[in-house]
Structure 1
Amino acid sequence: MKRLLRVLIIASIVLICGDVNAKNYPKPIQKRIDKAVKTAFGAEDVQFVDLPEVSYDLDSFPGIEKVSISKLVNEGKAIGTAGFASSKGKNDLFDYLVLFDESMTIKKVVILVYRSSYGGEIMAKYWLKQFEGKHNGEQLEFNKDIDSISGATISAPAITTGIKSLSLLMVYLKEAGRI
């Protein structure tokens, strides 16, 4: 019940303050982002350098609705990339952050805002840990490489498809010299 209340409060803040891809994140979401970066990279003073909108066709990368990309810089050195994306569950979009190292290998996945009253089980850290270490969309097949989770029949495959597409997009942009 506390988790649901917390999710509803954060979702309300996002609706009031705007999109989580904006430069000024609501404080609870920013704390979650900072903690994820510190855990993944072991760095505290990390700057998010927003990359200019790059032209890519999201239709070629199914499962992601919106994408925002930031370069992560610590002490003047690039340490990784942050991909903010949204995917659609049964009825509502949910927003998440995928942290990539310089080789575009997934370091960490964090659900930032989950708006639906069902499927929130995908927010479990132990379940999201399955994505870590994956690269270029490899080994990201739902119910094969990524285990299902009870209570998230639609959200679990949706985020798996979204993360796979985001991973493929990041590698594509890196190879094209846009990141």
Structure 2
Amino acid sequence: MKKFGILTALLLILPFVLSFAVLNGLDKKIDREIKEEFEVTDYSHEGVEVSKELHQKLPSRVSKDNFFRLKNNGELLGYAYLDRAPSKTAEFDYLVIFDKDLAIARTKVLVYREEYGGEIGSRRWLRQFTGKSKASELDHIAAISGATISVRSMKNAVKDILVSVEILQKNNAL
């Protein structure tokens, strides 16, 4: 019976330990992208709180754990949004950095877990999102041969966060 209890405890704890290890790896990538984008060596971040009622209106999953205000010496730099999107058989982690006016400053595919379609992580392709602040501006994002599902998924994910940001702005949540 003791063995069962220890094994059960390990099985319950292991996913948290593994997700923490993965998150730490992402933290470094996210930190590097933010510092590079805003040309700062130091910044602080605070999670954006969203009420349950407002959250239900959003197409994206937005919480204090994945949507952040970025500040340097008390001055607003912009915002960062971190999430996952589906690819053909797995998911990929991506980051959207917004300037202080809530236009996209940078997008980054942080971790791509498929054998094919990784081209969506190229800076050249991702630059298409830069400067966009409305979902309707994403209608002409170029396709990539062999990455159709991932392209569509990234485009839809970015559209959803742009719509969510617009709703948050209208409700004075940002």
User: How many Å separate the matches in 2 of 1:94 and 1:75?
Assistant: 33
- Given candidates 45, 49, 72, the residue that maps to 2:46 is 49
Q: Deviations over 1:86-126 (max 9, x none)?
A: 21111212111101112210000011222222211111111
Quick check: which one's helix share is greater? 2
1:157 lines up with 2:152 in the alignment: yes
Higher RCO by CA contacts (8 Å cutoff, separation 6 or greater): 1
Q: Take 1:18 and 1:152, find their aligned partners in 2: how far apart are those partners? A: 29
> Which blocks of at least 5 consecutive residues in structure 1 are unaligned?
1-13
Pairing of 1:1-40 with structure 2 (within 5 A): 16-18=18-20, 25-27=23-25, 29-40=26-37
Q: Which of structures 1 and 2 has the bigger CA Rg?
A: 2
Using the aligned pairs only, state the percent identity.
Answer: 31
1:37 maps to a residue whose letter is I
> C-alpha distance in 1, partners of 2:102/2:108?
16
Q: State TM-score, norm by structure 2.
A: 0.79
Q: CA deviation at 1:35?
A: 2.1
User: What 5-or-longer segments of structure 2 have no aligned partner?
Assistant: 1-15
Equivalent in the alignment of 2:142? 147
Aligned equivalents of 2:17 and 2:148: distance in 1?
Answer: 26
**Per-residue deviation, 1:15:** 8.2
Change (3 A) 1:139 1:15: farther
* Kept after mapping to 2: 8 A contact 1:89/1:154: yes
Equivalences for 1:55-94 in 2 at 5 Å? 55=52, 56-57=55-56, 61=59, 66-67=61-62, 68-94=66-92
Displacement after TM superposition at 1:138 (Å) = 3.0
Kindly tell me the number of residue pairs found equivalent between the two proteins: 155
Q: Is the alpha carbon distance of 1:176 and 1:51 closer, same or farther for their aligned partners in structure 2, counting shifts above 3 Å?
A: same
Query: Which letter maps to 2:28?
Result: K
**Counterpart contact for 1:104–1:136, Cα < 8 Å:** no
Alignment check: 8 A CA contact 2:50 2:173 kept: no
**Which residue of 1 is the match for residue 123 of structure 2?**
125
**Native 8 Å contact 2:85 2:153 kept in 1:** yes
Contact 1:51/1:69 (CA < 8 Å) preserved in 2? yes
User: Is 1:174 equivalent to 2:169 in the alignment?
Assistant: yes
Deviation at 1:53, TM superposition (A): 4.5
Corresponding residue for 1:10? Answer: none
CA distance in structure 2 between the partners assigned to 1:75 and 1:40 by the alignment: 16
Give, in angstroms, the shift of residue 50 of structure 1: 1.4
- Tell me the alpha carbon deviations over residues 58-96 of structure 1, each in whole angstroms, 9 at most, x when there is no partner: 7x52xx5x4421110111111111111221111212111
Moved over 4 A (4+): none
- When the two structures are superposed, what TM-score results if normalisation uses the length of structure 1? 0.77
Cα gap change, 1:19 to 1:168, in 2 (>3 Å): farther
CA contact (8 A) 2:43 2:71 kept: yes
8 Å contact from structure 1 (residues 121, 150) kept in 2 = no
